Structure 1
C-alpha cells in the first residue's frame, strides 16, 4: 500500500507508467502542486474545479502548497503559467491515513485563476454516478514512469486506462487491496495492459467522458495496475457544501 506521492529528496519526478507525452496545454484543468512539509518538498497533481478551488488527494497535504496552472514543462517558466499559493487546505473530515479512505481535499487559492486557453475548469460528475467496468478513461501527471528507475520527464504525461470491476481489487486480508472500499474508491487499470498512475501522480484526475470521475490515490509498490482512485461522485455533496461555505 503506497500513496502515490513522491518526495523530491529521494528522486526526481518521472511520469505515468506506460504513457506518452500529452499535447501541451490539452488539459487546461491540470494543476501542478509543490508541497512543502518541514524540510521536505514533494509534488502532486490536482485539477481546477472553479476559479478559486483545486481538487486533489487529502494525502497531498503539507505546511505550504503552491499551485502552478497552465503548465506543461515544469522546468520552464512558460508564459502560460499562473503560480498561485494556497490560502487554505480542506481535507475531508473523515480522511483515514492508514486506509486512504476519503482521500480527497479542496484547496482554496489565494486569488482566482484567470481562465483562458491554457487554464480552464473540468466538470465534476453527477452525485453517485458510476462508470461501467470497461469504460476507457484517461489519466495525466508528472509522476514516476517505472518502479525500477527514477528517470524523469519534466513534461505532462498521459495514458488511457480502463475502469475495472470492484472485484479486480480483492479485499483479501493481508492483500494490497485489503482497504479497498467500493463506495468511496474506484479500481482502475487493466493488469494485462500495464498502464497506471504511479508515485507523483497523486491528486490528478481520472477523466471519463470529459468529467473528473476519480482522483489518483494509492496502489501497489511497484506500480502494477489496477490502482485505486477516490470516487469523486460519492463526494459531490461534500464538495458543493465546502465550496459554498467558503465563497465570499
Structure 2
C-alpha cells in the first residue's frame, strides 16, 4: 500500500482543480474492500465513471458531482474488465444529491444512490460502517483510499483493477472538507476516483471530491461525519 500525508489547514491547493483517480497506487488485494462500488454514469450524450461505497443493502454513497441521467452500480468487482462471478450489477432507482451542493468549490459534495433492488450481501459485497455524527479524527491517523481511476496525469489511462494507497489524516476544513496527501510523496486520488471512500479505523470518514488538475496531492474529501443526520434522514425518506 502507499502512504500519503494529509496536510494542515494552512496548506493551499495549486490553482486549477478537477473533480476527482489513484496516482502512484498499487493493485489492491482482490475483494479486500467489499464495500467498493464502480459507477457507470450517463449524462445526456456523455459517459463517465466514478467510485462509491455501499452503506446498506440498497444504498450507495458517492459524490454529488457524479450525478447523471442514468447510473449503473457494479459491486463485488476487482478487475472491472472481467465478468467476475463475484460482481453484482444494479441500476440506480433514484439519485439524491445534497440539496445544498455547490459545484464551485464543491461544498456539500455528497449524494445517496437508492438501488433498484437490494444487493446480495456476502464475502464480496458488504457495506462499510459510517462514523458517528461530527466525529473528528486525530491528526496522524492512518487512513486508506481506493479506486479504479487514472493512474497518471500524463495520459487518459484508467486502472482495470482496484488500486489503493494509505493516507495519514490532518485537518483541512473542520466543517465539511478534509485535505489529504503529501506533495513530496506524489500519491493521490485522481480523475475517475470521485466518490470513493477515505477509510479510517474501518469507517468511511471521507468521500473523494476534487484535487489539482495535475493529479498531485493533496486532494479534498467531503467529511462524512458532518452529514450523518442528512444521510439517515434521506435513507428513511427514500425507503419504500
TM-score by length of 2: 0.91
Map Cα deviations across residues 69-112 of structure 1 (whole Å, 9 max, x no partner). 00111111111110000000000000001110000000000000
Which residue of structure 1 lines up, in the alignment, with residue 5 of structure 2?
none
Structure 2 residue corresponding to 1:64, chosen from 61, 70, 75? 70
1:108 aligns with 2:114: yes
CA RMSD of aligned residues (A): 1.0
How big is the shift at 1:150? 2.6
1:164 aligns with 2:170: yes
| 3-state SS in 2 of match to 1:141 | coil
Q: Please identify runs of 4+ aligned residues in structure 1 that moved more than 6 A.
A: none
1:88 aligns with 2:80: no
Distance 1:133 1:144 in 2: 28
1:220 aligns with 2:212: yes
Distance 1:66 1:188 in 2: 28
1:52 aligns with 2:58: yes
| 3-state SS in 2 of match to 1:130 | coil
1:200 aligns with 2:192: yes
Distance 1:160 1:220 in 2: 19
| 3-state SS in 1 of match to 2:236 | helix
Which residue of structure 2 lines up, in the alignment, with residue 10 of structure 1?
none
Say whether the 8 Å CA contact 2:143–2:167 is kept in structure 1. Answer: yes
Which residue of structure 2 lines up, in the alignment, with residue 242 of structure 1?
234
Higher relative contact order (CA 8 A, sep 6+): 2
Map Cα deviations across residues 172-216 of structure 1 (whole Å, 9 max, x no partner). xxxxxxxxx431000111222221100000000000000000000
Distance 1:130 1:66 in 2: 33
| 3-state SS in 2 of match to 1:66 | strand
Q: Between Structure 1 and Structure 2, how many residues are aligned?
A: 224
Which residue of structure 2 lines up, in the alignment, with residue 12 of structure 1?
none
1:79 aligns with 2:71: no
Distance 2:199 2:186 in 1: 18
How big is the shift at 1:162? 1.6
Which 5+ residue runs of structure 2 have no aligned equivalent? Answer: 1-16
Which residue of structure 1 lines up, in the alignment, with residue 222 of structure 2?
230
| 3-state SS in 1 of match to 2:74 | strand
Which residue of structure 1 lines up, in the alignment, with residue 174 of structure 2?
182
1:3 aligns with 2:9: no
Structure 2 residue corresponding to 1:38, chosen from 25, 44, 63? 44
Say whether the 8 Å CA contact 1:191–1:225 is kept in structure 2. Answer: yes
| 3-state SS in 1 of match to 2:65 | coil
Say whether the 8 Å CA contact 1:71–1:78 is kept in structure 2. Answer: yes
Structure 2 residue corresponding to 1:133, chosen from 135, 139, 159? 139
